[in-house]
Amino acid sequence: MKLKLLKLTTLLCSSILLFSTVSVNAASSKAKSIGPSTRLTATSSSYNVRIKKPKKSLTITTGDDYNNRRLILYVKGNYKSYFNNKKNRKLKVDKYFRSYKVTYSNGYTRIYIRPRKSVIKAYSVTQTSNYIYVRYASPKSMYKKIVVVDAGHGGSDTGATGNGLQEKNLTLQIVQAMKKRFDKNSSVKVYYTRLSDWYPSLDARSALSNNVKADRFISVHINSFQKTSKGTETLYNSKGYKSSSGLTSYKWSKTTHSYILSATGFTNRGLVNRTGLSVLRKTKTASTLTEIGFITNPSEAKSMKANTDRYGNALYNSILNSFSKYPTKR
């Protein structure tokens, strides 16, 4: 591990968007939800934003751009002036509401809805034949299971290096493999600290988790030491926070450790208590940091390079398993 404490630099928000779900064509007047299913839903009687549709059938997708605290509705076709017309929308918003903006480019009209500056909101989007309804609320009231997944290092911080590999790239590939699985399973809402090669500060990583009040936090890392050092190790914090349902960092780490260990087949270095690590100390929920193997060990490096998908799958499964063993109480 090489958790260097880098200077806090001002970061541009990542422009990665999370496309929640495929298009829905509303042919009937029945309400259909767009995007993942949520605990609260937008309806004709409960919404924050109501947008009149220019025609009954529209192809609409949603993107939860949580880095920029906004929802983006992508509507196929150019309806910019239509959606810009105040007559075609009704906002039931609070004093913190920031903006409703419409743009058009590359065949898509984009409607940006920004409820708050600092707080991340979760969204329910429903359409009927005549309207699109958007409702927002705290992630916890929208989702039963919330995870923050952190690909260690990034950008100018390469993390550990060895055998021609960089830790930041391996951790990102593993997280991208996890995302592939989660994109097909909307039972868990996942917030990613990064999905490309940039460096979120350590504080920003735990802040994301604290902002959305995550039920689990997992940080993915690769170890480094000597050529002969080997094995899979998981770090927990005995003095860390618990999840709202009482899950400890230790128990959570135990689950992820067993999954990743069987995926790597490396030596079992076990669970290691680390009370001083920023992400394990500042994240106010059950948190764990997995050290897949040693980048400095030629055989482990080779294996890790070839198996990032496998590790991503293992961590995905460990999260599902943890939620079934230790369900959230909501």
Nearer to Zn ion, 51 or 160 (CB): 160
Number of residues that bind Zn ion (CB under 5 A): 4
Counting every residue written for the chain, the total comes to 330
Does 168 bind Zn ion (CB under 5 A)? Our answer is no
* Dihedral sign of CA atoms 236, 158, 147, 316 in order: negative
Does 257 bind Zn ion (CB under 5 A)? Our answer is no
Which segment (25-33, 75-83, 87-95, 151-159) binds Zn ion by CB under 5 A? Answer: 151-159
Residue type, 254: K
Q: How far is the CB of 153 from Zn ion (least distance, A)?
A: 6
Does 152 bind Zn ion (CB under 5 A)? Our answer is yes
**HEC profile of 43-96:** CCCCCCEEEECCCCCCCEEEEEEHHHCEEEEEEECCCHHHHHCHHHEEECCCCC
* Dihedral sign of CA atoms 274, 290, 241, 325 in order: negative
Does 200 bind Zn ion (CB under 5 A)? Our answer is no
CA distance 117 to 2: 33
Does 154 bind Zn ion (CB under 5 A)? Our answer is no
Contact pick of 70, 205, 216, 221 for Zn ion (by CB under 5 A): 221
Which segment (67-75, 146-154, 233-241, 278-286) binds Zn ion by CB under 5 A? Answer: 146-154
CA distance 217 to 277: 13
CA distance 327 to 330: 9
Return the residue nearest Zn ion (CB atom): 221
The total of other beta-carbon atoms located within 10 Å of residue 302's CB is: 13
Q: How far is the CB of 177 from Zn ion (least distance, A)?
A: 18
Does 139 bind Zn ion (CB under 5 A)? Our answer is no
Q: Is 300 a catalytic residue?
A: no
Contact pick of 139, 159, 231, 240 for Zn ion (by CB under 5 A): 159
Q: How far is the CB of 221 from Zn ion (least distance, A)?
A: 3
Where on the chain is the footprint of Zn ion (CB under 5 A)?
1, 152, 159, 221
